[in-house]
Amino acid sequence: LVMIYLLVFSAQKLAQVPSVGETLENIADGLLPLFI
């Protein structure tokens, strides 16, 4: 779970395009509850 969070967080920091970060955030919001 921690690794997944770090991967998503790193991807968001690397993503300079707002739409990309927003998409990743939506994916994270959808996936994280499955692992918790």
DSSP letter at 17 equals S
* Digit-coded pLDDT (tens) for 1-36: 788 887 877 777 766 666 766 787 888 788 777 766
**What pLDDT was estimated at residue 21?**
66
Domain count, the chain: 1
Domain carrying residue 10 = 2-35
Q: Give me the chain's average pLDDT, please.
A: 74
- This prediction's pTM: 0.36
**What pLDDT was estimated at residue 27?**
80
Measured CA to CA, the distance from residue 33 to residue 19 in angstroms comes to: 22
Q: 2-14 and 18-35 are packed helices; what angle lies between their axes, rounded to 10 degrees?
A: 170
User: Residue 36: which residues within 8 A CB-CB, separation 6 or more?
Assistant: 1
**What pLDDT was estimated at residue 6?**
79
**What pLDDT was estimated at residue 33?**
76
